Amino acid sequence: MIRIYTDGACRGNPGPGGWAWASDASDYASGAEAHTTNQRMEVRAVIEALLEHSSGPVEIVSDSNYVVKCFHDKWYAGWKRRGWKNSKGDPVANRDLWETLIPLVLEGGRDVRFTWVKGHSGDRMNDFVDELATTAADAQIGRHS
């Protein structure tokens, strides 16, 4: 199973944002969007990681409860059952990205797991993707190994 760390960053919310993923210091990517939110960048990072690593089992390690709880607590099932409304009856934020990510995780017989890690806690790889994402947000330029 490959372990991939993901992160999203935003300067202002909304504002210029960046996303990043890395499996190690030599296998990574980041990208930027001019006007976005932190949560959109968190979801985008996972999409990009899964598209790049499109086969085999994957563990996504994220400091985003938004991403991890969607799958651990199966928020997506309630969203679909309620016609893409959240538990308060409001439209699900970032539906366009979730409609891309959910099938990448649930379909195709792949084992995709999610692990939460505390941000800014000294985890080397979490710090690495944080740096990649914030640099992308600041410079509005992505990188790829």
- The residues annotated as belonging to the active site are 7-8, 42, 63, 120, 130
Evaluated on CA atoms 32, 36, 42, 48, the torsion sign reads: negative
Q: Which two tokens stand for residue 32?
A: 């930027």
- Report the greatest alpha carbon distance in the chain: 43
Write phi, then psi, for 136 (nearest 5 degrees).
-65, -40
